[in-house]
Amino acid sequence: GAGVSQSPRYKVAKRGQDVALRCDPISGHVSLFWYQQALGQGPEFLTYFQNEAQLDKSGLPSDRFFAERPEGSVSTLKIQRTQQEDSAVYLCASTSGASSVSPLHFGNGTRLTVT
Amino acid sequence: AQTVTQSQPEMSVQEAETVTLSCTYDTSESDYYLFWYKQPPSRQMILVIRQEAYKQQNATENRFSVNFQKAAKSFSLKISDSQLGDAAMYFCAYRSSAISSGSARQLTFGSGTQLTVLP
């Protein structure tokens, strides 16, 4: 596709519900990142994939957060038993290479509101 | 761990004037990358400019330039001839160049500066 696509754009969940957020990276991009951006803050790293391998999940805040990228393209971030502190914008980014020099392309994010 | 600090939550500039956004960072690494990203209300992060730490020359991209002071760990963004379309949240970000590190590929962001451009 032309850019990184994320869906849904907005999601409202009741506390305790499970949610799944989708990221469709640019075709052929090897690396994929998820970030969490709380209101008025900068994005914070959650997890990183190189193809289908999850190489770094050190930023996931709890075991309620789970990410996968089974075929090395589309990725899903799942949050189980959502809590109010999970309310944030979730950004996905992809890049063509595995090195640090490749520029990141970000999606428009999913705004999650937990009520 | 690296940290990035943006001490100006909000800035404003008159259209056609120049504004400078500040950023400082803390790292023990000698080689790394620094970035400025722009985030308009659409929420998409757009790369404005990038600097490699091993390069002494300051990066420039049209109306955007940086003042990179490695010893002071300072990385400010200058926007010349400000335009209404420059209004957005601006984030400074750091990335290690150590590709052998599992966390090297992630960006560490500052808390952002909201830039308003006054007509």
Residue type, A51: N
DSSP secondary structure letter of residue B86: G
Q: In Å, how far is B42's CA from the nearest CA of chain A? A: 6
Q: In Å, how far is A2's CA from the nearest CA of chain B? A: 14
How far out from the chain centre does Cα B63 lie?
A: 14
Residue type, B86: D
Q: How far apart are CA B93 and CA B107, in angstroms?
A: 6
Query: Per the CB < 8 Å rule, is B44 touching A108?
Result: yes
Three-state DSSP class for residue B2: coil
Interface with chain B: mutation pick from A26, A51, A100, highest number of B CBs within 10 Å? A100
Q: How far apart are CA B117 and CA A38, in angstroms?
A: 24
Q: Delimit the domains of chain B by residue range.
A: 3-118
C-alpha dist (Å) from residue A32 to A55, A104, B94, B98? 10, 9, 17, 18
Query: CATH: 3.50.90.10, 2.60.40.420, 2.60.40.10, 1.10.3720.10. Which one for A5-95?
Result: 2.60.40.10
B4/A contact by beta carbon, under 8 A:
yes
Q: Which of A16-25, A46-55, A67-76, B101-110 has the lowest mean pLDDT?
A: B101-110
Q: Which of A56, A103, A106 sits opposite B106 (nearest CB)?
A: A56
Per-residue confidence (pLDDT) for residue A58, from 0 to 100: 92
pLDDT tens readout for residues B60-80 = 999 999 999 999 999 999 999
Q: Which of A99-108, B10-19, B59-68, B100-109 has the lowest mean pLDDT?
A: B100-109
Q: For residue A31, which residues of chain B lie inside 8 Å, CB to CB?
A: 105
Q: Delimit the domains of chain A by residue range.
A: 5-95
DSSP string for B19-63: EEE--EEE-S-SSEEEEEEEE-TT---EEEEEEETT--SPPEETT
pLDDT tens readout for residues B24-43 = 999 998 889 999 999 998 89
Q: What is the 3-state secondary structure (H, E, C) of A67-105?
A: EECCCCCCEEEEECCCCHHHCEEEEEEEECCCCCCCCCE
Q: Which of A12-21, B11-20, B36-45, B100-109 has the lowest mean pLDDT?
A: B100-109
B112/A contact by beta carbon, under 8 A:
yes
CATH code for the domain defined by B3-118: 2.60.40.10
Q: How far apart are CA B53 and CA B71, in angstroms?
A: 11
Q: How far apart are CA B20 and CA B81, in angstroms?
A: 12
Query: Per the CB < 8 Å rule, is B33 touching A101?
Result: yes
> Least CA distance to B41: which residue of chain A?
A108
pLDDT tens readout for residues B96-109 = 886 655 555 789 99
Interface of A with B in 6-35 (CB under 8 A): 31, 33, 35
Per-residue confidence (pLDDT) for residue A3, from 0 to 100: 92
